[in-house]
Amino acid sequence: MNRPTPAEVRELAGAHLARLLLGALRQVEAASLAALHQRGHAGVRTGHIPVFAAGDGTRITDLAAGAGMTRQMMGRLVRELAEAGYVTARTDPADQRAVVVALTDRGWAFCDDAREVMAALETRYADLLGPDAFAALRAALTDIAHEP
Give the domain ranges of the chain: 45-103
Structural fold of domain 45-103 = Arc Repressor Mutant, subunit A (1.10.10)
Sign of CA dihedral 77, 119, 117, 109: negative
- CA distances, 143 to each of 17, 26, 140 (Å): 15, 20, 5
Can you give the pLDDT of all 148 residues of the chain as single tens digits?
A: 688 888 877 776 667 788 889 999 999 999 999 999 999 999 999 999 999 999 999 999 999 999 999 999 999 999 999 999 999 999 988 899 999 999 999 999 999 999 999 999 999 999 999 999 999 999 999 999 898 8
Phi, psi of 13 (to 5 degrees): -65, -40
d(CA 35, CA 120): 10
CA atoms of 84 and 51, how far apart (whole Å) = 13
Return the number of other C-beta atoms located less than 10 Å from residue 49's C-beta.
16
Q: pTM of the predicted model, to two decimals?
A: 0.84
